[in-house]
Amino acid sequence: MDISAKTDYAVRALLTLADAQRTDARPVPAEVLAEQQDLPRKFLEAILADLRRAGLVTSVRGAAGGYRLARPAGQILLGAVFRAVDGPLAEVRGLRPHETAYTGAAQHLPTVWVAVRASLRRVLDEVSVEDVLSGKLPAHVRRLLAAEDAWASR
Amino acid sequence: MDISAKTDYAVRALLTLADAQRTDARPVPAEVLAEQQDLPRKFLEAILADLRRAGLVTSVRGAAGGYRLARPAGQILLGAVFRAVDGPLAEVRGLRPHETAYTGAAQHLPTVWVAVRASLRRVLDEVSVEDVLSGKLPAHVRRLLAAEDAWASR
DNA sequence: GTGAATCCTATGGGTTAAGTAGGGAATAGT
DNA sequence: ACTATTCCCTACTTAACCCATAGGATTCAC
């Protein structure tokens, strides 16, 4: 699982947007988002375009323009952000996990790939931008973090 | 999460190897593994070299040579296979999840990345080659698969 | 109309993924 | 000793992708 710079930037931009909207309803220019999280502005623009096409943000053109969350931060799931900028959560050689097929000793492998995807969904489709902003993650996610070596390398 | 062809091939080769060893102790040539799972032979050779360096298989050179599992299939975890051929399970812009650092609204983001990694570990570091071969996955993995839409796209 | 901002298309450089090619080194069977 | 088999190693290729950047066209508040 390589979380791309694109996805990382997208989440950070949305967090910054969510934070700004708590005190100010005006749209936030890409330039400001880029500054606050130290992101390359032109690249960020392309990412915001993806997020707009996916319906996660809305944009306002012209002077005093910028970006807004398309809905409350609590209703924007990280899974949606991943899919918007990087496509499906899990793929195996370009196939969706449930589309893979094998013969012989590898017969049951699709089950494993589907389980991998399901475990990603359990995190990404149940954590919202609001959750991350406030640091209050769902209980079952906190339970994952409680594993003794969750913060250690392997 | 893109599961690479390399990783896919590695797991399939190990499954085939485990299967063969249930009835025959002789080492299995790369050519045979390639045939049985329809993998490009030369590419597979490179992958088997990774697995050998990681201590997952042993090799025997010369006529009547081939590959063997370095230990019982029940003691080879998928996580080890992933790491052997593709490096760390999760990375963010080239960093390990626990090494990421952010300011401002993204403060709590490392927690999320660590949770993502933890959830992958819960599957990959608890399922062995033997489990996949027999189709008998651990209970908590089967529970993931029981989610109503585990097999559906999103 | 002017300046601020998004939107669109094109482009580039570097890295990686996936696979190929060719031959050297070891070994079992004869 | 010879031969066929098989692993081992280095180098190469080809295409795709990732991470941007450039330059302008369009929209809009004032």
Task: Give dist(CA A92, CA A119) in Å, integer.
Answer: 15
- Span A2-16, mean pLDDT? 98
Containing structural domain, residue A97: 5-146
Mean pLDDT for all residues in chain A: 97
Contacts of B89 in chain A (CB under 8 A): 1, 154
Interface of B with A in 11-30 (CB under 8 A): 11-12, 15-16, 18-19
Does any CB of chain A come closer than 8 Å to the CB of residue B50?
A: no
Residues A84/A88/A90/A92 CA torsion (nearest 10 deg): -140
For chain B, percent of residues with pLDDT exceeding 90: 97
Residue B74 lies in a domain: yes
In this structure, the number of other CB atoms found within 10 A of the CB of residue B98 comes to: 17
Q: What is the pLDDT of residues A69-128, one digit of tens each?
A: 999 999 999 999 999 999 999 999 999 999 999 999 999 999 999 999 999 999 999 999
- pLDDT tens for B24-47 read 999 999 999 999 999 999 999 999
Q: What's the pLDDT at B135?
A: 97
| Chain A interface mutation, best of B23, B81, B111, highest count of A Cβ atoms under 10 Å | B111
Annotate A51-71 with DSSP letters as a single string. HHHTTSEEEE-STT-EEEESS
Residue B148, pLDDT > 90, answer no
Q: Label residue B49 exposed, middle or buried (CB < 10 Å: 0-12, 13-18, 19+).
A: middle
Residue B147 contacts A, CB cutoff 8 Å: yes
The Å distance, CA of B66 to C1' of D4, is 15
Dihedral angle at the C-alpha atoms of B141, B146, B151, B154, nearest 10 degrees?
A: -100
Q: Does residue A148 have a pLDDT over 90?
A: no
A68 part of a folded domain:
yes
Q: Above 90 in pLDDT, residue A147?
A: no
What element of type H or E holds B94? none
Smallest CA–CA distance, residue A64 to chain B, in Å, is 22
Mean model confidence pLDDT for chain B:
96
Task: Provide, in whole angstroms, the distance separating residue B5's CA from nucleotide C17's C1'.
Answer: 9
Contact of A90 with chain B, judged by CB distance below 8 Å, is answered with yes
Q: Phi/psi of residue B95, each to 5°?
A: -105, 150
Residue with smallest Cα–C1' gap to D20: A43
pLDDT at B91 over 90: yes
Residue B103: inside a domain: yes
Examine residue B29 and state whether it is found in any structural domain, yes or no: yes
Given this model, what pLDDT does residue B147 score?
Answer: 87
Contacts of B123 in chain A (CB under 8 A): 112, 115-116, 119
Position A89 in a domain: yes
State pTM to two decimals: 0.95
Supply the CATH number for residue B10's domain: 1.10.10.10
Q: Give the pair of three-digit tokens for residue A141.
A: 């996610």
Question: Does B19 reside within a domain?
Answer: yes
The number of domains in chain A is: 1
SS3 B87: coil
